Amino acid sequence: MLGLETSCDETAASVVRLTPDGVATVLSSVVHSQIDDHAAYGGVVPEIAARSHVEMIDGVTRRAMEQAGIGYDALDGVAATAGPGLVGGVMVGLSFGKAVALARDLPLIAVNHLEGHAVSARLGAPVQYPFLLLLVSGGHCQLLEVRGVGDMTRLGTTIDDAAGEAFDKIAKALGLGYPGGPALEKLAESGDGSRFDLPRALLGRKDCDFSFSGLKTAASRLAVACETDQQRADLADAVQSAIARQLSERSDRALKDYAERHDAALKQPRPAGEAIGQERLFVVAGGVAANKTIRSTLEAVAAKNGFAFLAPPMAYCTDNAAMIALAGAERLQKGMTSDIDAAARPRWPL
Ligand code: KG4
Ligand code: ZN
């Protein structure tokens, strides 16, 4: 499966092989990051992103095919991100995918970017469905029960900003570059956040939703008032801890709910040979999963609830096309292909 990803600021193409019994191998994964194009503006500029995708998609795809060492006649299909994302960029990858599909007489699979992130853990390890997923990126923050492509239940989502958005905006207020998450993590290493009392969101609520806008506003105000580098480092540490705490509190609730429902299922008689407890797996994916403090906090929550914990390799946490190719290949195995007039969708909830 050839996969194409152009929904934000990465132009990416990849070839993935999926065996009939569900084992994935990445034959190539090429990612061209536009970070340098957007750095001067402190964030992604949609128009610049779309133009850059137009310039890069041809060469990036060519390199992915060369590195995979196969010709177009060896492909079974073309998968392209059809949303959600910056629609100008999505249209570039989707149109390119349609052109390849038409020219080579291949099925087209329009993939939801979030579904790509959801299956990404299967690129680095033989992960089986189902599992509980925390998807934390620049644009999304969701808890999902993942049973397979086209078969997911959302347990919670952010009611305002995504965690990565909070990282990026607070980092900007602290005078750090774009993208802010990695820079803020580095600054936090030399800080002690205990003297800051940042707002805690949705404390009384019994659901698995998130909210980061209060934290974003409060911390951005404090950042502007910081006078020394030490104060800035202390604030960075406080912000990172506050985000980690909210992610782990909400995940804890989702893990308990998930375990309860699956424990009920486990009490039913099972076919011989089926592994019991296999569904106790907690996966974290998306760019924010790169943060070491957040990873270790979530790992502890998983252990406390009796779940195995897994985060995809870094290259598959941030945006890439291998996850789109894999989601496309799994869809093709289920016979779920798309019409050639599939639309680019700026919004597309799972
Ligand atoms: O998944 P991703 O590459 O793109 C989206 O689909 O949004 O995620 C990018 C986000 C950005 O907000 C970035 O600041 C954040 O992930 N991020 C981090 C770290 N690395 C990337 N946030 C905190 N700590 C990090 N080390
Ligand atoms: Zn993404």
Q: What interface predicted TM-score (ipTM) does this complex get?
A: 0.98
CA contacts within 13 A on the Cβ side of 231:
10
- Structural contact between residues 97 and 4, judged by C-beta atoms closer than 8 angstroms: yes
Distance of alpha carbon 48 from alpha carbon 9, whole angstroms? 9
Domain 2-124+316-333 falls under CATH 3.40.50.720: no
Q: Which of 120, 294, 318, 323 to mutate to test the pocket of ligand 1 (most atoms within 8 A of CB)?
A: 318
Does the beta carbon of 8 sit less than 6 angstroms from any atom of ligand 1? yes
Any binding-site annotation on 117? yes
Does the beta carbon of 286 sit less than 6 angstroms from any atom of ligand 1? yes
Atom 21, ligand 1: residue with shortest CA distance: 287
Any binding-site annotation on 168? yes
Give the pLDDT score at 112.
97
131-311 in CATH: which number? 3.30.420.40
Give the pLDDT score at 278.
63
140 CA closest ligand 1 atom index: 7
Atom 8, ligand 1: residue with shortest CA distance: 287
Any binding-site annotation on 113? yes
Give the pLDDT score at 314.
87
- Structural contact between residues 109 and 75, judged by C-beta atoms closer than 8 angstroms: no
Any binding-site annotation on 137? yes
User: Which tokens go with 319?
Assistant: 């945006």
Give the pLDDT score at 202.
81
- Phi, psi dihedrals of residue 283, rounded to the nearest 5°: -115, 135
Residues linked to residue 83 through DSSP beta bridges, in sequence order? 112
Is the fold of 2-124+316-333 the same as that of 131-311?
yes
Give the pLDDT score at 37.
85
Helix 163-173 vs helix 180-188: crossing angle, to nearest 10 = 70
Distance of alpha carbon 313 from alpha carbon 28, whole angstroms? 15
**CB-based contacts of 239: which residues, under 8 Å, 6+ apart?**
166, 167, 170, 184, 188, 193, 198, 215, 219
85 CA closest ligand 1 atom index: 6
Any binding-site annotation on 38? no
Say which amino acid occupies 158: T
Does the beta carbon of 84 sit less than 6 angstroms from any atom of ligand 1? no
Any binding-site annotation on 139? yes
**CB-based contacts of 194: which residues, under 8 Å, 6+ apart?**
238
Does the beta carbon of 85 sit less than 6 angstroms from any atom of ligand 1? no
What's the average pLDDT block by block, 10 residues per block, for the chain (350 residues)? 96 97 96 86 85 96 98 97 96 98 98 96 90 94 96 96 95 91 97 92 86 96 96 98 96 94 73 64 94 96 94 91 98 98 94
Best CA proximity match to 46, nearest among 12, 14, 99, 92:
92
Q: What does the domain layout of the chain look like in residue ranges?
A: 2-124+316-333, 131-311
Does the beta carbon of 164 sit less than 6 angstroms from any atom of ligand 1? yes
Helix 87-104 vs helix 46-68: crossing angle, to nearest 10 = 30
Does the beta carbon of 81 sit less than 6 angstroms from any atom of ligand 1? no
Q: Which of 112, 137, 294 to mutate to test the pocket of ligand 1 (most atoms within 8 A of CB)?
A: 137
**CB-based contacts of 137: which residues, under 8 Å, 6+ apart?**
117, 162, 164, 286, 287, 288, 319
**CB-based contacts of 21: which residues, under 8 Å, 6+ apart?**
none
Q: pTM (2 decimals)?
A: 0.92
Atom 11, ligand 1: residue with shortest CA distance: 138
- Structural contact between residues 307 and 329, judged by C-beta atoms closer than 8 angstroms: no
